[in-house]
Amino acid sequence: MLKPISNTTITQPGGDVYILKQIAKIEIKKSRDTLTNTAKITLPRNIKLFENNRKTDLNSLLLRGSKVLIQLGYEQDYTAGTIDAGLKTEFEGYITELGATIPVEINCQDEMWNLKKEAITHSWKNAKLNDIVKYIYTGTSDIVDLNIANYQCANKTAAQILNELKKYKLRFYFDGKGVLKGEFAGQTSKNMHQGLNEVYYDFGKNIIKNELVYKLKEEAPIKLIATSNLPNGKKYEITLGDNNGEVHTLNYYDLDQNSLTLIANNEIDRLWYNGYRGSFTQFGVPYVEPGYIASLHDDLYPEHDGAYLIEAIETTFGIDGFRRKVQLERALV
């Protein structure tokens, strides 16, 4: 049996580096749906030592703004064949809060924390989404091609702007490589996700438990109505789905017809499909990130086999073991 291992590195704003050797629990939450990925590190009650084997004042070492690197994995076992062991980077971010209770909890946020600091005032006319993102964030980004007629912000942080732009049914989040992603909540096919890692799951092998429900489209029909109201009083309207289905509405101002169509089609693909909904729990391996593709196989119901976009991952590490809860977003066809 492989032994879970961890390595947590704290780098202070001044450059001093410390390695946390005693960890009671680590909880990491990553999602395409929430802007900020977070980590919570719980220290043992009797924590006294860091790597340098001296007593420490935690408040002087765990400074707000210190960089955090969390690596998790299993001890290498070369007899285990293809087991994906060894330390892998699970989280990179910053300390945002040090709890005052015992045991001590260290709360961390990813790079989105830096986008919550400076206020921005600006306006755009006939801009693409990528133009807006490039203005508010100078790092590496990968943004969907979407035209936005006009947008203006007054004294808002970059994170607040991204959160407001989610009204176009977009997901903004940092992936495992530090790239700011801007994508639709729904995507229609695996071809749109070429280059992404695909992870294979078997209900009889590497899924510990599941909270999945398989549904057919006819069991929950949906009717989606998307509207763009134009400055001249006219409007574009698109209706998709089943006329007798549950009605979902999207309303926008001054959005061109192509952009409205793009948003509507992606949104109904997210809401209405044949396949699994819900989540399942796996061990620490295989390594997965939100935005990866999960290919599910069940020997008992092979007709249910399919590929799914992963929306969120909750990773826990500690005395109870190393686990990941995987939340599905939608089926890929």
**pLDDT per residue as tens digits for the range 252-285:** 999 999 999 999 999 999 999 999 999 999 999 9
Shared domain for 207 and 307, answered yes or no, is yes
Number of structural domains, the chain? 4
Of 87, 102, 122, which Cα lies nearest the Cα of 45? 102
Q: Is 279 helix (H, G, I), strand (E, B) or coil?
A: strand
Shared domain for 129 and 227, answered yes or no, is no
The last residue of one of the domains, among 184, 207, 233, is: 184
Shared domain for 97 and 17, answered yes or no, is yes
**Residue pointed to by tokens 């293809």:** 82
Give the count of beta carbons closer than 10 Å to the beta carbon of residue 170.
20
pTM: 0.90
Shared domain for 103 and 237, answered yes or no, is no
pLDDT tens for 12-61 read 999 989 888 788 999 999 999 999 999 999 988 766 545 454 556 677 78
Dihedral sign from CA coordinates of 95, 34, 305, 210: positive
Of 82, 97, 304, 297, which Cα lies nearest the Cα of 200? 297
Amino acid at 273: Y
- The DSSP string of 141-190 is EEE---EEEEEEEEEEEHHHHHHHHGGGTEEEEE-TTSPEEEEES----G
Q: What is the pLDDT of residue 215?
A: 94
Shared domain for 155 and 41, answered yes or no, is no
Length of the chain equals 333
Helix%, strand%, coil% for the chain, nearest 5:
15, 45, 35
Q: What is the pLDDT of residue 84?
A: 57
Amino acid at 131: D
CA atoms within 13 A on the CB side of 232: 4
Shared domain for 166 and 212, answered yes or no, is no
| CATH number for the domain that contains residue 35 | 2.30.110
Shared domain for 325 and 223, answered yes or no, is no
Report angle CA 326, 308, 227 to the nearest 5 degrees: 110
Domain that holds residue 256: 218-271
Shared domain for 253 and 243, answered yes or no, is yes
